[in-house]
Structure 1
Amino acid sequence: MTFPALTHVAITVSDLAVSTAWYNRLFDAEPVLDEDEESGAYHHAVYALGGGTLFGLHTHTADGPGEGFDERRVGLDHVAFALSRDELESWTARLDELGVPHTGIKHAHYGSGISFRDPDNIALEFFAPPA
């Protein structure tokens, strides 16, 4: 039996309006869903990405601990979006066009990637496995 693919990733953001505008520009798309969750515990804006994956932004009605994102804390380290090696240069140019700071293309034996961060400092990456 094959382990199933990821269907969605959801991240909690501090300011939904700021994050939605930022991700709209990054994804060049609007959310396919933007609503209060049925229980009223959170609001979510959800994007449909290639390959059928959904990417959600959540804001909760109850206050959280108030600490910013840090990948060294237990929990999420980063989210990586799949690319081919041929697409890395064009995504570097796209991040530059959007004014998003990034690491440039970094190569390793396990693949190549471009790391960057969202408005809440959440670590994101464009990643291409080795050819």
Structure 2
Amino acid sequence: MTSFPAVNHVAVTVSDLATSVPWYSRLFGADPVLDEDTGPFHHVVFALAGGQQLFGLHYFPGNAWAGEFSPRRVGLDHVAFGCLNRAELTAWRDRLDGLDIKHGEIVDSHYGSGLAFKDPDGIALEFFAPPAA
């Protein structure tokens, strides 16, 4: 082992696959590559970054969590999708507008620029670009 490996996949738990699958399909501009009911849970998986990364949606039947997603709760804070630069970040902002997905403003900082938005369950997502060179 010479270096720490890249993130292979991320999976988030959703409350309703019938709502989340079409929403993420629109966001990713792709259909899922896997839709499988394993018994204990049902998962739907999307291939991103030319198939190098996977993004999964998990649904647990009978799971009745009444709380709302909160990045302050121990666990997931947010998932960020990398952009090459601020111009690409701006293009994603425009794409979210075209998809009628609510989002915040682009926030610039010394370590990069981010654009925050949420999925139908309120899971925090972001597009992020490194600082200009």
Name the % identity.
Answer: 59
Q: How far apart, in 2, do the equivalents of 1:108 and 1:89 lie?
A: 15
Question: Any idea what SS the aligned residue of 2:107 has?
Answer: strand
Aligned counterpart, 1:81: 81
Deviation per CA, 1:82-113, whole angstroms, max 9, x where unpaired?
A: 10122011101100001111112110011111
Q: Which runs of 5+ in 1 are unaligned?
A: none
Aligned to 2:67: 67
1:14 aligns with 2:15: yes
TM-score after normalising by structure 1: 0.94
Give, as a single letter, the amino acid of the residue that structure 2 aligns with 1:94: R
| Distance in 1, Cα, partners of 2:56 & 2:63 | 19
Deviation >3 Å, runs of 4+: none
CA displacement at 1:66 relative to structure 2: 2.7
Q: Give distance in 1, aligned partners of 2:53 and 2:63.
A: 28
Residue 62 (structure 1) shift: 4.0
> 2:115 aligns to what SS in structure 1?
strand
Contact 1:41 1:62 in 2 (8 A): no
* Inter-partner Cα distance in structure 2 for 1:89 and 1:65: 35
Please identify, of 60-69 and 99-108, the stretch whose mean Cα deviation from structure 2 is larger: 60-69
Confirm or deny that 1:53 pairs with 2:53: yes
1:121 aligns to 2:122 (yes or no) = yes
* Equivalences for residues 83-102 of structure 1 within 5 A: 83-85=83-85, 86-102=87-103
Gaps of 5+ in 2: none
